[in-house]
Amino acid sequence: MSRKIIIDTDPGQDDAVAILLALASPELDVVGITAVAGNVPLALTSVNSLKMCELAKRTEVPVFAGCDRPLQRELVTAEYVHGKSGIDGALLPDPVMELQPQHAVDWLVQTLEGSDGDITLCTLGPLTNVGAALQRSPHIAGKIQQLVLMGGGFFEGGNTTPAAEFNIYVDPHAADIVFSAGIDLVMMPLDVTHKALITAPRLDSFGALGTPVGDAVHGMLDFYERFDLEKYGTEGGPLHDPTVIAYLLQPELFSGRRCNVAVETQSELTMGMTVVDWWHVTDLPTNCMVMRDIDDAGFFELLLERLGRL
């Protein structure tokens, strides 16, 4: 029996690869995709989500446009990493698919309220849509089987400010709502994703698939990692968002521990910081499974094998 998931996303090349991984995996039933403003504005993240469904030949998956700005702050985007389109590097046609008319937050509330508590949320961008849904209907927290997110960092610090990772920094108030809601949370922080490096052989392996999907992934990741290669000086740029989907498929690839995680929303110096009580130095209840390590070879083997099916 496949696991029902909703993907909340702001594509972004790494989001795009995560969507393709999910759509290539029969163990996952993608109930819908909700787009949010983040890496690029909402108009682009929505279109990019449609493009990934068409690239994967999964046009039956509904896509909903959600919030075009954070709950309380002005939108911060990352074209300097992802390019003007968000998925620069892939030459894809304009989508034939159309967005669903319903707002993503309305659809999330309606879908979760009508569910049997068997839906997992996979959040790959700022948590604005989910935070807004929880603000409107707090009881839906009990209807979420699990929420697996890419966001935050602890020993690695931040990638947008010294303290904050991009997804959490863009909308820390929404993140605070999510981390305080009592949901079963699994967090893929920078501490994990910075160990999942797109080395040259790994990048070449996607191009070697010789398929439209392989060509698109190779092009997107070749463009995307240029910024991080210069920034970090590593042998490859980190591949963040597909770790969320990989965890659902092969959780044994990851290891971590349950911790208390709080999100800073008051200090401009540390705004969006995920404060992880890794060493359990407080008596605060654990609210999140925080991953720290990844079998990166196994992760890329899974990614290559699944994308090869499309």
Active-site positions read: 240
Q: Other CB atoms closer than 10 Å to residue 102's CB: what's the count? A: 15
With 0-12 CB in 10 A as exposed, 13-18 as middle and 19+ as buried, what is 161?
A: middle
**Are β-strands 3-9 and 119-123 bridged in parallel, bridged antiparallel, or unpaired?**
parallel
First to last CA, the chain: 21
What count of residues does the chain have? Answer: 310
Q: And the tokens for 302? A: 């899974």
- Would you call the peptide bond into 114 cis, given omega within 30 degrees of 0 as the criterion? no
Q: Helix (H, G, I), strand (E, B), or coil: what is residue 265?
A: coil
Q: Do residues 275 and 267 lie in contact, with contact meaning Cβ atoms separated by under 8 Å?
A: no
Tell me how far apart the alpha carbons of residues 182 and 159 are, in angstroms, rounded to a whole number. 27
Give the residue among 149, 182, 183 at the shortest CA–CA distance from 165. 149
Residue located via tokens 């990638």: 159
Three-state SS string over 169-181 comes to HHCHHHHHHHHCC
Q: Which residue has the tokens 């910081």?
A: 273
A 10 A CB-CB count for 261 gives: 25
Q: Which residues pair with 8 in a beta bridge?
A: 34, 123
